[in-house]
Structure formats: structure tokens, C-alpha cells
Amino acid sequence: MPLSVWIRFVVYGFIGWGFEIFFTGIKNWIASGYKDWSLRGKSYIWMFPIYGLLAFFFEPVHDAIRSLFWPVRGAIYVFGFFAVEFITGWLLKVTTGKCPWDYTGKKYSFKGFIRWDYAPIWFVFCMAIEPLHDWLMRVSVK
């Protein structure tokens, strides 16, 4: 029996959390001038279900566009990630009063919810998620 969409939701949530903690740790190390070797990374509890949404949004898109040239697929994924990041950030701000990843005042920010300069990072992340998705679809539970 293949993994259920909810198990894949959990896997994507944990993978996303791990990626975000790794990314912010490296980003803080670079910002310290390579002096702070604590590599302190962070994420938000809200990010677990947001990354989990890959099971519902990324997977069908990947299945639909897998025959396209990889840069085209990556561009489509980045657009999708920006859309999800904007919508979920806006929803969190409306419902809780704050978006945890507030980019207001940052260079290349759009409405404080997304940063255009993160496009290459999302591109690489999405291209790495493609083989994970394929593997998750082959794994079965007995």
C-alpha cells in the first residue's frame, strides 16, 4: 500500500523544517562574517503545515509538468512557492496579527511576505523535492 497523502504531508513538513533551520543557520553564519560557528538556525511551528502543503500542491504540479525542461519546471515551482508563501503569510497576519517571516523593509521584499532574491534558493529546494516526491510514491507500507 502506498504512503497516504497525510504521511507525505508529515514527511514534507519535517523536510521543510530541516531545510529552513539549515538555511537560516548558514545565513546567520555568513551574516556574522563567518565568525559565529554556533550555526543557530530557526523556524516556526507554522512552517510545518505550510511545508506539508507540498503533498497537496507540489505533487500534482510535478506530475503534470515532469516532461518539461528542468529550468521551466523550476520557474513554475518558484512561482507556486511565492504564491503559497504570500497567501499563507497574509492569512497568518490577518488571523494572528503577525506574519512570522516579516520581510517588511528588506530589499527585494514584496508586501513583507516574500523576497524575490530567495528565488534561486526556492528553485534549488524544489528541484531537490522532485526526486523525494518520486521516492515517496514508490515507498509502500505493508
Over residues 79-99, mean pLDDT: 97
Provide the domain count of the chain: 1
pLDDT per residue as tens digits for the range 94-134? 999 999 999 999 999 999 999 999 999 999 999 999 999 99
Composition of the chain by helix, strand, coil, percent to 5: 65, 5, 30
Confidence band, pLDDT 50/70/90 cuts, at residue 48: very high
Cβ atoms of residues 90 and 99 within 8 Å: yes
Domain range for 122 is 5-138
Flag whether the pTM goes above 0.75. Answer: yes
Q: What is the pLDDT of residue 84?
A: 97
CA 35 to the chain's CA centroid: 27
